[in-house]
Every structure is written in structure tokens, then in C-alpha cells.
């Protein structure tokens, strides 16, 4: 934490482990002391608790441990392009309900799966998955996958 204060960096990558709070706690402390910190957490796709805690603690996004090079580059580019995290738009109806298919897509996102992977599991084309994602983003009042997943964890839509 002190090193970041002396010499800030563009992005901090933090690893998480199931039932070990050090990565999540480090994220929370870093963002608390340095709100401008861009933190991306790495974790297991089935470790929803750590992912949710890290996002709630201020992480800008998450990646699976086995993320591909293109996924890592995309996450870094997105994080670097966003000098600040925009406030989520408020849903037009706070009691909005997602369809079962939208929930399935959100669950896939929360597991760090790509649109193609989600589509293969649900027997949908990648374009259809993107359509469901756009609809759920609009319903939740969010702008991207990371915000959708964080919102889903907060509302208990994914666990």
C-alpha cells in the first residue's frame, strides 16, 4: 500500500484464493487508501464469494486464473481507458426482473466465461448471447460485464 502511494502504477493485479481473505483484503485496503487505484482481481471461476467481495471492495474487474492473453489484454485496455469508474445508471424500474435466459447469461459472465463459451453451454449463437447481455445491461442500468456481475452479486442474482 505504501509503495503504491509513493509510486502509483496504472493497474494492480491481485490474486484471490477461496477462503483466504488476503487478496480481497489487499484490494479493499488499496482502494480505500487510493481511490484512483485500478485493481483487477484474478480468481477461480467458481469462487463467487471472493469475486463478489473483491468487486464490492473496489476492484474494477476480475479475470479467471486461466484467462487467455486476449482476455487479459482486453481487461487491461478497458481498465486503462476508464480513468474513473462511471456511476451505474439507475434502472428505470428498481423491481426489474430478468428473464431466465438473461439470468443464465449473467451467471456465465459471473463465472468468467466468454460469450462464445456461454453460447455453447446454452446452445445459442454468440450473437444471441450478446443480445441477451445488452438487454440485461439495460434492465440493470449498467454499462459492461463487470458492472453487471457486481450488480448481480449485490442483488443476489448470482452467487
pLDDT tens readout for residues 143-159: 888 888 888 877 778 76
Look up cell 479475470; give the residue: 63
SS3 at position 40: strand
Fold of 100-155: Arc Repressor Mutant, subunit A (1.10.10)
What is the tens place of the pLDDT at every residue in 90-119?
444 456 788 888 989 998 988 888 999 998
Q: Residue 63: its pLDDT value, please?
A: 79
Contacts of 62 (CB under 8 A, 6+ apart): 40, 41, 42, 43, 51, 54, 55, 112, 146, 149
* pLDDT tier at 5, thresholds 50, 70, 90: low
Contact 39, 27 (CB under 8 A): yes
Give domain limits for the chain.
12-81, 100-155
Handedness of CA 109, 113, 114, 120 (dihedral sign): negative
Q: What is the pTM of this model?
A: 0.49
CATH architecture of 12-81: 3-Layer(aba) Sandwich (3.40)
Check residue 92 and give its pLDDT: 41
Per residue in 6-65, pLDDT (tens digit) is 676 778 888 877 655 677 888 888 888 877 778 888 877 777 777 777 777 888 877 777
Amino acid at each position: 500500500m505504501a509503495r503504491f502511494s509513493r509510486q502509483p502504477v496504472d493497474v494492480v493485479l491481485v490474486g484471490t484464493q477461496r477462503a483466504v481473505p488476503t487478496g480481497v483484503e489487499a484490494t479493499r485496503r488499496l482502494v480505500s487508501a487510493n481511490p484512483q487505484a485500478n485493481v483487477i482481481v484474478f480468481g477461480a471461476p467458481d469462487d463467487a464469494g471472493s469475486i463478489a467481495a473483491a468487486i464490492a471492495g473496489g476492484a474494477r474487474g476480475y479475470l479467471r486464473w486461466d484467462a487467455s492473453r486476449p482476455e487479459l489484454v482486453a481487461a487491461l485496455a478497458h481498465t486503462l481507458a476508464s480513468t474513473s469508474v462511471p456511476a451505474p445508471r439507475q434502472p428505470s424500474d428498481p423491481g426489474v426482473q430478468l428473464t431466465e435466459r438473461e439470468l443464465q447469461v449473467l451467471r456465465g459472465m459471473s463465472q468468467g466465461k466468454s460469450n462464445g463459451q456461454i453460447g455453447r453451454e446454452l446452445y445459442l449463437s454468440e450473437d444471441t448471447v450478446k443480445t441477451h447481455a445488452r438487454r440485461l445491461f439495460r434492465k440493470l442500468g449498467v454499462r459492461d460485464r463487470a458492472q453487471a456481475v457486481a450488480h448481480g452479486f449485490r442483488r443476489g442474482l448470482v452467487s
